[in-house]
Amino acid sequence: MYQKQSLNSNMAKNKTTETAENIDDFLGKVTDPVKRKDSYTLIEMMEKASGFPAKMWGPSIIGFGSYHYKYKSGHEGDAPLLAFSPRNSAFSLYLSCDSKMKEELIQQLGKYKMAKSCIYIKKLEDIDLSVLAKMIDYSLKFQEETK
């Protein structure tokens, strides 16, 4: 059956919103014990750096703090300042930095893959945690400067 599209179809509701889901319950479903342990390490690092407690965003993202965004198209919403997701194949790290800083630090990170908006790592032992800590700090600073 054909459904009439709304005139505001580009104003879709953001699917990744903060939820009241319990993080321990979510991480209890992570079957890989290394990934579960690494998740708690990432939580500790990101809570310490941001000063915000970990919260679930959508069904599988753990985020810290939030900011409001609005695109030229009119679409707007809230997103976490920092976030990660322990996906089956790799962690997805959601950090914001200017491209020059990201490029400088990413070369020192260790084993990773990169997409437009996130960094993929298999496990924390594959990367330099001090470099990740710098990337987290720069991400927070970048968010503050671009508000």
For 62-92, the pLDDT digits (tens) are: 999 998 888 888 888 889 999 999 999 999 9
In 3D, which of 120, 146, 126, 129 has the Cα closest to residue 49? 129
**Average pLDDT for residues 119-136, to the nearest whole number?**
96
Please report the domains of the chain, with CATH numbers, ordered by start residue. Answer: 23-59+79-145 (3.90.1150.200)
What pLDDT score was predicted for residue 115?
85
CA 87 to chain CA mean position, Å: 12
Q: Which two tokens stand for residue 139?
A: 């991400």
pTM of the model: 0.86
What pLDDT score was predicted for residue 6?
39
Total count of residues recorded for the chain: 147
